[in-house]
Amino acid sequence: MTAVAAASDAWTDRFNTPNWADLIAAYTDHQLTLMNLAHTKLSAIEGLTPQLEWHGPSWRWTLRFDGHGASGWVYLIPRTEKPQIGMPLHVQQLDQLRLRKVSKTVREPIEHAPVVAGTAWCEWELSGKSVVEELCKLAALRLKLAIQA
């Protein structure tokens, strides 16, 4: 079995909990660097705790980061073909997040995200280090604002 097939099987097999290494085994060097950077930076945010969990047919096995007493603060999605970060943003938070200061690459998915019950469900493909760093800063800012509220 190829590394891609094994990683895909690990990501899609609902009944066998994979480990993180299995989920990212098939990535290119670039994708692996970005996923490891995202994992390291999100894990370093004080108050966020990771949990590998099954999230249905769309996100499958995903690393969910919980924070400030809420589950699902940010998600690291090891989709086999394109790793992603998902972040639910409450509509009332958007003004506080200073979105005019973020890059177009980060801002556009927020503007076009589907809104369900007052929450915009945003997803970004991890395409470069700057995107990963900006998204991790956004996650940290959200947590800081929630703690201050």
Looking up tokens 């809104």, which residue turns up? 115
Question: What one-character-per-residue DSSP string does 78-90 give?
Answer: --SSS-EEEEEEE
Entry pTM = 0.90
Residues 6+ apart with CB under 8 A from 139: 42, 45, 48, 65, 73, 74, 87
Mean pLDDT in each 10-residue stretch from start to end of the chain (149 residues)? 68 92 93 97 95 94 91 93 94 82 92 94 96 95 85
- CB-hemisphere CA count at 13 Å for 37? 21
For position 7, what pLDDT does the model report? 63
Q: What is the pLDDT of residue 96?
A: 82
